[in-house]
Amino acid sequence: MVYDIKLPGFQREDHTHLIKAKMSFLSNKFIGKAATMDFRALPFLVVAALLVWIPRTTAINITRLLGEYPSFSTYNDYLKQTHLDEQINKRQTITVLAVDNSNIGVLSGKPLGLIKKILCTHVVLDYYDMDKLSDMPKKSTLLTTLLQASGAARNQQGFLNITKKSSGDYFLGSAVKGAPLDSKLVQQVVVKPYNISVLQLSSPIIAPGLDGMGVNETTPITAPAASPKKTPAKSPAEAPDAEAPAAEVPAEEASAPEPSDAPADAPVNEADDEGSSKSSITRVTSVGSLLIVLGYVFLM
């Protein structure tokens, strides 16, 4: 005779052991799955960190911007002939003071070297739009131009004086002592905060003595033919004749306030600008390649 002896205590202990074993198995499986999920999410974390690290830059193309406004075709052609468009496009923060076809005729027939220096004084090495100008703490402010950065300026020829009149209008002129403030700020043409701004002036600004700085007088050029105004809706309105408000400028403010731009006396280092541009392109290309590799690994 065989006796079937049941031991409840042993069964309970055996069941407890099985439960513990199952819990341990499930726990290890869950932890392993979580670890796998974390590993697969790692590439996305790396990519996100790289995207935050890469500086955001906006490419500037001044001739393309002005090309949308036929009334600035002569000014745009001068930028191309003097190759100033290339220097402007290398900058990341800039303000261009443009003059329309009907008011730029004073430059016609002048030597190309002189025209280049004049236009250099119309390129401000900082970003200004109407909102920023309205927040100026002083009535008169000095603006640093590309001519000052090139090292070709004498005295205050590389600076512009901008003054806000009681009427709310802005007038600009050379910061050279005795120079008139007779160029009125007409309107804001193009703004891409905070990279480039194009503001329209009523007339070109010619610093006193700028034409006596060894300019080659044997290469005069004529003004390019103005393009017909096919799109008058986009052309800015012509500016009214501005009166010279030189007498109303406070002497202590117009003399020598601190310029807001740092590279005042240093020549323009085009090689550094080109090198930094190439470095940014290389960096973006490397990141793009990394994204492709990480995406491929993730899909596998």
Q: How far, in Å, CA of 217 to CA of 10, rounded? A: 113
Note the pTM of the prediction, 2 decimals.
0.58
C-alpha–C-alpha distance, residues 94 and 197, integer Å:
7
Contact (Cβ atoms closer than 8 angstroms) between residue 173 and residue 206: no
Contact (CB, 8 A) for 164 and 185: no
What are the CA-CA distances from residue 42 to residues 29, 156, 196, 295 (Å)? Answer: 20, 57, 38, 11
- Give pLDDT tens digits along the chain (300 positions): 545 545 454 454 556 666 666 666 666 655 555 555 555 555 565 555 555 444 445 689 999 999 999 999 999 999 999 999 999 999 999 999 999 999 999 999 999 999 999 999 999 999 999 999 999 888 999 999 999 999 999 999 999 999 999 999 999 999 999 999 999 999 999 999 999 999 999 999 999 999 874 333 334 444 455 444 444 444 444 444 444 444 343 433 434 444 544 444 434 344 344 444 444 454 545 556 666 656 555 555
Alpha-carbon distance of 221 to 111, in angstroms, equals 6
- Rounded to an integer, what distance in angstroms lies between the CA atom of residue 51 and that of residue 291? 10
State phi, psi for 144 to the nearest 5 degrees.
Answer: -85, 130
Domains within the chain, CATH numbers bracketed: 62-268 (2.30.180.10)
Tokens of 150: 């090139």
Strands (E), the chain: 94-99, 123-124, 140-144, 159-164, 170-174, 183-192, 196-201
* Integer Cα distance of 238 and 106 in angstroms: 16
Give strand pairing partners of 98: 200
**Are 170 and 204 contacting, i.e. CB atoms less than 8 angstroms apart?**
no
Contact 110, 220 (CB under 8 A): yes
